[in-house]
Amino acid sequence: MSENQRGIGILQIIWTIAALMVIAVGTVYLFARRGGSASDVKFLTPYQAVLLTNGSVYFGQLEGYGGPNPVLSKVYYVLTQTNSETKQTNNILVKRGKELHEPDRMYINPRQILFVEPVGVNSKVAQLIKEQGGQ
């Protein structure tokens, strides 16, 4: 075997090892992301506030956050009403489900979620949910 052939053989071995390392690292990364995404996110409060990229805020019980198919159930949102005479605004908390299609949950595109925050158990939102028959 000539020096040139040995050099080519060593180069092929190095490239093969490098390719196997890239495949191994990629596989570990994919399994780590897949196994640890949605199941690791646990909320300590019964309700969460979910802000979407369109500016909408919904309150509810979020499951599957961090995964490909987050679901928000027991959904509430704030509706602002303006008194036409006094021009004074009033915010009320509305439970979803009264609409014509009577939705009982929202499947949210995870790319549309800007952030999620816990709704404090002593907050005004939590109190209003409780008054409407929520937990």
pLDDT digits (tens, 9 = 90+) for 73-115: 999 999 999 998 998 999 899 999 888 999 999 999 999 999 9
127 vs 37, higher pLDDT: 127
Q: What's the pLDDT tens digit per position in 5-61? A: 666 678 788 888 888 888 888 877 777 665 544 456 889 999 999 999 999 999 999
Question: Whole-model pTM?
Answer: 0.68
- Give me the residue spans of the domains in the chain: 1-36, 41-131
* CATH class of the structural domain 41-131: mainly beta
Distance between CA atoms of residues 9 and 5, nearest Å: 6
Closest CA to 109 of 59, 72, 60, 61: 72
